[in-house]
Amino acid sequence: MDLKDNFTDFTLASNYVMQLAIDEYQSDRNWTRLLDRYWNLVEELIGDPRAKHLPFMDNPLPTLGMILTYLVWVLIIGPTYMRDRKPMQLTNTLFYYNLFQVVLSGYMFYEHLMAGWARGYSLTCQPVDYSDDHLSRRMFNLCYIYYLSKLSEFADTIFFVLRKKKSQISYLHLYHHSLTPIEAWILTKFLAGGNATLPNIINNFVHTLMYFYYMLSAMGPRYQKYLWWKKYMTEIQIAQFVICIGHAINALVTDCAFPKFITLLLLGNASIFFVLFMNFYLENYRKQTSVKTEPESAAKIQEMAIASTFHEQQQEVTALLNKEH
């Protein structure tokens, strides 16, 4: 078997690369040469040759550098710059940015359907097609667009910083925006299609709704009455990860011809997001429920106190009348 031509056997190629890298290190003990040799083997044996000449796809360093720059800016540089400045309004900018994301997410959702999920992809097990036919190329191009879209979403946090919306920049928000670009890079570089694209199509659907919500929110107070469905938006996001967890577990137990290591990563990632979003949901919406019930409880206590006082006064009046008689 020539591993160089057998891109579908991801697990076998991975094991082969790992063994060669270990042998290289044991024979030379040179970390720089080891990393260089290891990456060349990964790209040669596992990497999708269609990705090699695309911007940022040669190696992960540009993507990791952009993620690091993003974190430094939103955590240090941006807040320092805005410390003594008034929050920026950015009303028009936010409207057009969210409109762009709605259109982009809707387009990617449609393309996921047309490139595979409405054209014969199996919900139970779908290996990656590395051929260069029309649908395979269409899915590959879509995976690259999906990767670029995750880089564009850095703007979400940048706008929060410029508007001084510090409470919006949670650990969940930073984790999500830091992790998804490198996930999308791995997808495009090694696994552009198959099972790994199910989370993407669901994510595109969710993001179409989410950015539409943000767009309405940016349109001003007149449109606040149309934002009653925020709670359900979070519930849809939680359902997204439940579906992804079930899909990954099914691929593991049915011996699907998709790399088990990648399936385990998808399962772990979906599980982490499920826990984080559930925690966010419980903290925010349980708190809102308790805030709503507190005034009601206070009103009931007040009514009971008034009734009790009135009853005591009635008893005192009755006692006085009895004494007089």
The C-alpha atoms of residue 255 and residue 125 are separated, in whole angstroms, by 9
115: nearest Cα among 193, 21, 222: 193
Tell me the CA end-to-end span of the chain in Å, nearest whole number: 114
Of 25, 39, 54, nearest to 192 by C-alpha is 54
Who wins on pLDDT, 216 or 299?
A: 216
Catalytic residue check, 176: yes
% of the chain surpassing 90 pLDDT: 58
pLDDT of residue 5: 45
Q: Are 102 and 75 in contact (CB under 8 A)?
A: no
From 53, 134, 173, 176, the catalytic residue: 176
Q: What is the model's pLDDT at position 46?
A: 79
pTM score, whole prediction: 0.80
320 pLDDT tier (thresholds 50, 70, 90): very low
Least Cα distance to 277 among 166, 204, 154, 172 occurs for: 172
How confident is the model over 100-140, as pLDDT tens digits? Answer: 999 999 999 999 999 999 999 999 999 999 888 999 999 99
Instruction: Compute the residue count for the chain.
Output: 325
pLDDT tens per residue, range 43-94: 777 788 899 889 999 889 999 999 999 999 999 999 999 999 999 999 999 9
Q: Please, what is the Cα angle at 184 between 13 and 274, to 5 degrees?
A: 105
Q: Tell me the C-alpha distance between 325 and 305, whole Å.
A: 31
Query: Using an 8 Å Cβ cutoff, are 101 and 183 in contact?
Result: no
248-296 pLDDT, tens digit each: 999 999 888 888 888 999 999 999 999 999 998 898 877 665 555 545 4
Q: Positive or negative, the Cα torsion across 268, 270, 272, 275?
A: negative
Confidence of residue 305 (pLDDT cuts 50, 70, 90): very low
Residue 88 pLDDT: 95
Distance CA 250, CA 258 (A): 11
CA 260 to chain centre: 22
Rounded Cα distance between 267 and 258, Å, is 13
Domain residue limits, the chain: 48-290
Residue 127 DSSP SS3: coil
User: How far, in Å, are 37, 136, 199, 208, 242 from residue 237 at the CA level?
Assistant: 41, 28, 11, 12, 9
Can you give the pLDDT at residue 8?
Answer: 47
Q: At what angle do helices 154-162 and 134-152 cross, to 10 degrees?
A: 20
- pLDDT surpassing 60 at residue 325: no
Query: Residues 36, 40, 41, 47: what is their CA dihedral angle, to the nearest 10 degrees?
Result: 140
Cβ atoms of 115 and 139 within 8 Å: the answer is yes
Taking a C-beta distance cutoff of 8 angstroms, is the pair 77, 122 a contact?
Answer: no
Could you tell me which residues come within 8 angstroms of residue 166 by beta carbon, excluding any fewer than 6 positions away? 79, 160
